[in-house]
């Protein structure tokens, strides 16, 4: 599923591609994508003749602003937008086509068919589902430390599932929660109310910097994410913890280990992110002597693996 940086990238790309284009006609070939209104023909009729003005993001939702109407779109697992010329062959799994007056078309493709589209009068989209209950927006000016502290402060929930809860803070998925917690040096099983003020400050800063640099890099391409212009994101090359099981921590050289928390694969460095009492991370983790540099730590690990012969299976990624 695309996460916030990917959706932000899609929004920026779409904005550059379709702002100013006027819809001549809308074709819906998979009615279930259209959630509101529930009649796809009415959906089409409401959009025809209108012009896209800008594309904005709220959480992982895309807000496509037209004159007098707002289209709220969620890509879910596999949804993609692409701008085509009318004469380009229509690819499989294309479910909604916005035909423009200038001979181009915005096509929505969705192999898994989980994506959704809702139409609202401008401003009304915030008053009802799916946008109404969304939590703090981590890339906006309103995401202050005070607001973050207020949202998570006294909760006795473990911090990772709390950060994944879209009603608390939007747009943080599995990848960026692991990344932000590693950067902040906080174990994902710590409860929110156990965090000191300085830990919460570090976490707040890490969320902003992790998401900010991911947006700058164009989003991550871990699964099959491609932005609206078909460009792959580059953030995966900079990951600290996520997907690096068995590799050396970039901070201390210790090994990144993976465990399951709340059903989600979770990646930590147990030296940088001290587990709380009763942590579910297996205690019999391979521990390597403190590495001053990453290459030394990797070398030691390789030597160790060879000399020991049998390697514990937790070194396998994913």
Catalytic residue among 60, 80, 240, 244: 60
Q: What letter does residue 220 receive in the DSSP assignment?
A: -
How many CA atoms lie within 13 Å of 198's alpha carbon, on the beta-carbon side? 1
- Summarize as ranges the residues that interact with Zn ion (CB under 5 A): 249, 251-252, 254, 269, 271-272
Active-site residue, 231 included: no
160 catalytically annotated: no
- Catalytic residue selected from 3, 78, 247, 255: 3
Nearest to 152, CA basis, from 100, 211, 93, 196:
196
Residue with smaller CB distance to Zn ion, 22 or 279: 279
Q: Is 318 a catalytic residue?
A: no
Do the annotations mark residue 112 as ligand-binding? Answer: yes
Determine whether 237 is exposed, middle or buried from the number of CB atoms within 10 Å of its CB (0-12, 13-18, 19+).
Answer: exposed
Per the annotation, does 93 bind a ligand?
Answer: yes
CA distances for 249 relative to 42, 93, 281, angstroms: 54, 41, 17
CB of 181 to Zn ion, least distance (A): 12
Catalytic residue among 12, 24, 250, 264: 264
| CB atoms inside a 10 Å sphere around CB 225 | 24
Nearest to Zn ion of 249, 261 (CB atom): 249
Is 197 marked active-site?
no
CB atoms under 10 Å from CB of 85, counted, come to 9
Q: Which is nearer to Zn ion, 26 or 270 (CB)?
A: 270
State how far the Cα of 181 lies from the Cα of 96, in Å rounded to an integer: 38
Q: Measured from the CB of residue 188, what is the shortest distance to Zn ion in angstroms?
A: 14
Nearer Cβ to Zn ion (83/249): 249
Could you give the residue numbers annotated as active site?
Answer: 2-3, 60, 264
Residues placed in the known binding site: 93, 112, 155
């Amino acid at each position: 599923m695309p996460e916030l940086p990917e959706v932000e990238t899609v929004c920026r790309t779409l904005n550059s591609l379709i702002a100013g284009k006027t819809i001549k006609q809308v074709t819906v070939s998979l009615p279930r994508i259209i959630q509101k209104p529930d009649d796809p023909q009415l959906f089409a009729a409401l959009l025809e003749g209108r012009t896209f003005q800008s594309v904005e993001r709220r959480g992982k939702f895309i807000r496509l602003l037209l004159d007098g109407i707002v289209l709220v779109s969620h890509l879910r697992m596999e949804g993609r937008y692409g701008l085509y010329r009318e004469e380009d062959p229509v690819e499989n799994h294309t479910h909604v086509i916005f035909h423009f007056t200038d001979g181009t078309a915005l096509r929505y493709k969705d192999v898994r068919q989980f994506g959704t589209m809702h139409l609202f009068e401008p401003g009304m989209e915030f008053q009802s589902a799916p946008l109404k209950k969304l939590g703090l927006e981590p890339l906006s000016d309103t995401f202050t430390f005070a607001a973050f502290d207020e949202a998570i402060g006294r909760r006795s929930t473990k911090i990772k599932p709390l950060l994944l809860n879209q009603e608390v803070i939007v747009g943080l998925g599995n990848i960026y929660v692991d990344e932000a917690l590693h950067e902040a040096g906080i174990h994902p099983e710590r409860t929110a109310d156990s965090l000191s003020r300085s830990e919460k400050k570090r976490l707040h800063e890490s969320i902003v910097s992790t998401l900010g640099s991911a947006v700058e890099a164009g989003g991550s391409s871990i699964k099959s994410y491609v932005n609206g212009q078909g460009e792959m994101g580059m953030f995966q090359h900079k990951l600290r913890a996520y997907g690096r099981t068995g590799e050396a921590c970039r901070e201390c050289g210790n090994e990144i280990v993976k465990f399951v928390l709340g059903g989600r694969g979770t990646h930590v460095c147990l030296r940088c992110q001290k587990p709380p009492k009763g942590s579910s991370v297996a205690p019999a983790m391979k521990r390597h002597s403190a590495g001053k540099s990453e290459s030394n730590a990797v070398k030691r690990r390789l030597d160790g693996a060879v000399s020991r012969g049998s390697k514990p299976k937790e070194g396998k990624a994913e």
